Amino acid sequence: MSEDCDLTELLAVLDDEYARAILTETSVEPMSASTLSDRCDASLPTIYRRLDRLTECQLITEETELAQDGNHYSVYSANLDSLELSLEEGEFSLDLSYRDQDVADKFTQMWEGMR
């Protein structure tokens, strides 16, 4: 689990219907905030607030894409692969696994970050 996000905060994030909708949509393909706004039937400020919380908990990753006109914009992808909550000896534990990222994708992100 992310060091920035404890169990209570993570469960609160996942309790939010918009956060779950964002995770669901971005698990299929990367999407911009405006596309997520349309797909999740939520305002852009709502989407950005949820994206911030999801990013803090490392459930979403952000990448920059270059548009045909030379502008750039962010797209978001679900980073969560699975989540397992267990209760043993009076304590909850949470085990998160994240999606594996292709080495070529990591190199591309690093290269784009240097521009």
**DSSP letters spanning 23-63:** HHHHTTS-B-HHHHHHHHT--HHHHHHHHHHHHHTTSEEEE
pLDDT value for 107: 56
More confident position, 75 or 3:
75
Is the pLDDT at 99 greater than 70? The verdict is yes
β-strands 91-98, 60-66: how paired?
unpaired
Could you tell me how many residues make up the chain? Answer: 115
Q: Tell me: the pLDDT tens digits for 42-54? A: 999 999 999 999 9
Q: Which whole number is the average pLDDT over 78-98?
A: 89
58, 41 Cβ separation under 8 angstroms: no
Of the chain, the end-to-end C-alpha distance in Å amounts to 31
